Amino acid sequence: MQILPNIKGPDDVKALAPEQLPILAEEIREEIIHVTSENGGHIGPNLGVVELTIALHRHFSTPKDRFVFDVSHQGYVHKLLTGRYGEKFRKIRSTGGLSGFLNREESEHDCYGAGHAGTALSAALGMATARDLNGTDEHVVALVGDAALTCGITMEALNNIRSSTKRLVVILNDNKWSIAPNVGAISNYLNELITNPVYNRLHQDFEEFLEGVPGGDRLKKFGSKVKQETKDFFSGDYESSLFEKYGLRYIGPIDGHDQKLLDQYMEFAKKSEDPVILHVLTTKGKGFEAALGDPEKFHGTSPFCKTSGKSKSGKPGPSNYQDVMGRALVDFCKKDKRIVGITGAMPSGTGLKYLRDELPEQYFDVGIAEEHAVLFAAGLATSGIKPVVTIYSTFLQRAYDCIIHDVSLQDLDVMFCMDRAGLSPNDGATHHGLFDISYLRCVPRAVIMQPKDEDELVDMMKTGLEHKGQSFIRYPRGASVGVQMKDDAEAIEIGKAEPLRDGDDIIIWALGPMVQDAFKLANKIGAEQGLHVGVVNARFAKPIDSKLLIENAKKARLIVTMEDHVVTGGFGTGCLEVLQENNVQTPVVRLGWPDRFVDHGSSGTELRAANGLSPQDMEKNILDAYRDAEPKAIAADTTPVLGYPSGK
């Protein structure tokens, strides 16, 4: 490492001689491969933007100039070039390390954070418009991936640029990939642009421009061809690109790994007196064979072996919830052709890849377009199709009005599978699924459920598929419990909780994976305090099993609720409402995430410990509340203690 460690900021990048840039690029790739092999992370997207990001920092000057990266999962190079090489980068996406996304609190060079796709163009346009209003002269550059163009918000911003500002630089980073291969008409259109004769449509002052850039004369011979085409273009012989129809000057496509070419076109884009889009072709995973061979796997990966690319994760454990859901959905779709699965560009992450491969006619990937996914499902449902919308809890936030206004208000039969409900530790605040119960519990008729294990997940899928109305199943990222699966799923009576262990001193109502934690606490408190602690698998966050809850609360001295969700408006709050409405005074301790955003971290265990949710914290919370609660004169129940999953 000769250059990268000495890059303390963009000025050091500008000071490099051209012949040093390939060395810097090589060192950056080496660092990204090393760090992501240890921590996991978005290796593919970042290896694809090395030369592009170097060029950005050689021609623009953050923090005065503003870079807005769409999703910003491809921001590692930017971080390395803005003084963040070192220990914190080495721990990126882990406790105490950098965020995996741009973050305003992390650096003055990160003018805008992200994590969700489709926000960059609108935010950048806001910044450019603010600049015009303030009369300042900074440059604003939006880096947008080809799949981010499938987001509705991106098109809303495109529609607005021409009428809002004169100066905005948009870099379209076109690598043909979303997480899976990019989909839809916009993707096909970009391919058309690329397969046309490779030329750059430049404004007629192309020759003038060449005077102004180093090596411009070398391009002169090339310019004569372009000049002809420019004339044709302006004479209307060429149909202008989609982007010109939106009022942007389109330049491209150019090779996004050719540092010299990038230099020249960045300079042109910078000088443009019109909003300009520079169409850059890059290769996701460039510089790492395994990533080139499997861009989907290496879009965002867990730690891997640097030589083979093989995942480092230990011995195979229980299936991930996404795979259980995906395989079960195939079975349900085989039995009922009316059932279809819909994903927003994430067939692997949601598990819908099984349906894609086995029953492609019942599979729909709509691109990064969650609002459209829900509305599309609503349309399908009006014609007797039973759509299953599989979108991560956090990304479903994007489609909230479509859920209420289109699916719920019209009482259409749609089932939602919300993966990543709970923590996404390494991705952090933009990706934790901690709000879905709160944002859905207020929606009339919504059925919100969470399984205690993978077998119950399939039961809940059957329940939702048979339910006439709107059902939402939430389940966590990663491995399931490892229980024996039934041969045939059994529907669950809606609103029916599952008592698992008797108790009358304390009764814990746990949702989803918290059932495991509840049993551990019940066993420990029972053994050490001699208390009789019951456990109920709540199953439904809406409707709550009020009858059983009231019965439990009249019997016990304390009710505890446990959820992998914020407390504010969550499942525990629902239980409080039930007891209050029925005038049952038994105190309730609600164990869940506090009313604040939760950072990224190495694991759920570390994040829980950092947020007062370690097993010790929860035990203390419960015992303190128990001591403060009014004793109740009820004889201890001697019913034998049940265990779950196998008497643990």
Ligand X SMILES: CC(=O)[C@@H](O)[C@H](O)COP(=O)(O)O
**146 vs 413, which CB is nearer to Mg ion?**
146
Q: Which of 36, 37, 53, 74 binds ligand TPP (CB under 6 A)?
A: 74
* End-to-end Cα separation, the chain, in angstroms: 52
Both structure tokens of 118: 């489709």
Describe the crossing of helices 259-271 and 21-39 by its angle, rounded to 10 degrees.
100
300 contacts Mg ion (rule: CB under 5 A): no
Q: Which does 373 bind (CB under 5 to 8 A by kind): Mg ion, ligand TPP, ligand X, none?
A: none
Contact 10, 57 (CB under 8 A): yes
Does position 424 bind ligand X by CB under 6 A? yes
Stretch that binds ligand TPP, among 69-77, 191-199, 254-262, 520-528 (CB under 6 A): 69-77
Axis-axis angle for helices 321-335, 454-466 (nearest 10): 40
Among 57, 93, 297, 477, binds ligand X (CB under 6 A): 477
- Nearer Cβ to ligand TPP (72/438): 72
Number of residues that bind ligand X (CB under 6 A): 10
Cα separation, 130 vs 197, whole angstroms: 38
Per CB under 5 A, 175 contacts Mg ion: yes
Smallest distance, Å, CB 186 to ligand TPP? 11
Min CB(182)–Mg ion separation in Å: 6
The site that binds ligand TPP (CB under 6 A) totals a number of residues, namely 26
Q: Contact, 559 vs 553, CB < 8 A?
A: yes
Q: Does 285 bind ligand TPP (CB under 6 A)?
A: no
Cβ-based nearer residue to ligand TPP, 151 or 538? 151
Report the alpha-carbon distance of residue 574 to residue 471 in Å, rounded: 17
Alpha helices in 242-320 (DSSP H): 242-245, 259-271, 289-293
* Residue 398: active-site member: yes
Q: Is 441 a catalytic residue?
A: no
Helix axes 514-529, 615-628, angle to 10 degrees: 60
Task: Identify whether 284 is a catalytic site residue.
Answer: yes
Give, for 589, the enclosing helix (H) or strand (E).
Answer: strand 588-593
Asked if residue 177 binds Mg ion (CB under 5 A), the reply is: yes
- Burial, 368: exposed, middle or buried (Cβ in 10 Å; 0-12, 13-18, 19+)? buried
| Among 146, 453, 455, 502, interactor with Mg ion by CB under 5 A | 146
Interface stretch with Mg ion, choices 15-23, 145-153, 202-210, 509-517 (CB under 5 A):
145-153
367 forms part of the interface with Mg ion (CB under 5 A):
no
Strand ranges in 76-189 using DSSP code E only, listed in sequence order: 140-145, 169-174
Q: Identify whether the C-beta of residue 464 lies closer than 8 Å to the C-beta of residue 471.
A: yes
CA–CA separation, 158 and 154 (whole Å): 6
* Residues 162-181 as x/- pattern, contact with ligand X by CB under 6 A: -----------------x--
What 3 state SS string does 586-629 have? CCEEEEEECCCCCCCCCCHHHHHHHCCCCHHHHHHHHHHHHHHC
Q: For binding to ligand X (CB under 6 A), which residues are involved?
A: 71, 73, 179, 299-300, 349, 420, 424, 427, 477
Q: Which residues are catalytic?
A: 284, 370, 398
Write out the binding residues: 73, 115-117, 146-148, 175, 288, 370
Q: For binding to ligand TPP (CB under 6 A), which residues are involved?
A: 45, 70-71, 73-74, 116-118, 145-148, 173, 175, 177-179, 284, 299, 344-346, 368, 370, 395, 398
